[in-house]
Amino acid sequence: MDKVVTRALLDQVIDISVAAGKAILEVYNASGEIEVDTKHDDSPVTAADLAAHKILAPALAGLIDGVPVLSEEGKMPSYAERSQWDRYWIIDPLDGTKEFIRRNGEFTVNVALIENGEPVMGVVHVPVLDITYAGAKSFGAIKRDADGETAIQVRAMQPRIDGGEPIEVVASRSHGAGAVDALLERIESSLGQTGLKNMGSSLKLCLVAEGAADLYPRLAPTCEWDTAAAQAVVEAAGGVVVDDQFNLLRYNQKEELLNPFFYVIGDQGFNWKSLLLD
């Protein structure tokens, strides 16, 4: 990796993401029902998704010369074109559109820089809470909120096991519940009590990154822009994101932009593999 990933660049991306979050909140806080359209893949889209995209895409394109932007709300280039990209931005202007429509606050702005398939820098901004998670492997992960900025890191498993504390698992509010329940039973039979937190968007990965959860199993479909930013934060905080064969989750490796099922793991030193691939 060259010197392109700097703290100054990260701060610029945070500022751009916060600006997109403010545009989202203008729609979120307006009176009346949120108007929803349906995209060609039957997923919902709102004026807030588009407003955030219109802020993010041009601002990011201007940060590093020649680095393209891949957005959920933008034009999808062919894989023939994308496969030539060594470095690019990938963004989900509003991750958790269903949560946004429900007005439960569990949605984020996701921005990641990908280099040779690896998310090397990421920003996840939570507009309703005005909290930002950000990080890069070269200088670690942070959480910025009303109290300022603090370094974050994943937590170790053994002290929780030794202390009889529950293993905290986060899961989607909307997807894959049956498979997660079966996994929880397996974890409980091996490690004891578990605690389950359900929520939307990439917030789940961020809970692992800040040491508030131990595992996030995603056993339902996602797209690459859903995960890249938060994966960068998790890995900057010392965790790892692996697919269902325990290979590192990588990006722009194939024509489709769907991720495999995956696991977000806090403590890499714990033998999750034998438990999860049982």
Averages of pLDDT over runs of 10 residues in the chain (278 residues) are: 82 98 97 90 91 98 96 96 97 94 95 97 98 95 97 97 94 72 90 90 95 95 96 98 97 96 97 89
Q: How far apart are CA 107 and CA 52, in angstroms?
A: 13
User: Residue 182's pLDDT is what?
Assistant: 87
User: Residue 1's pLDDT is what?
Assistant: 43
User: Residue 89's pLDDT is what?
Assistant: 98
Specify the domain boundaries for CATH 3.40.190.80 within the chain. 158-276
- Closest by CA to 102, choosing from 16, 200, 177, is 200
**Architecture label for domain 7-152:** 2-Layer Sandwich (3.30)
Specify the domain boundaries for CATH 3.30.540.10 within the chain. 7-152
The domain defined by 158-276 carries CATH number 3.40.640.10: no
Q: How far apart are CA 149 and CA 7, in angstroms?
A: 13
Question: For 52, how many CA atoms within 13 A lie in the half-sphere containing its CB?
Answer: 33
Q: How far apart are CA 18 and CA 123, in angstroms?
A: 10
Look up the pTM and report it.
Answer: 0.95
User: Residue 174's pLDDT is what?
Assistant: 61
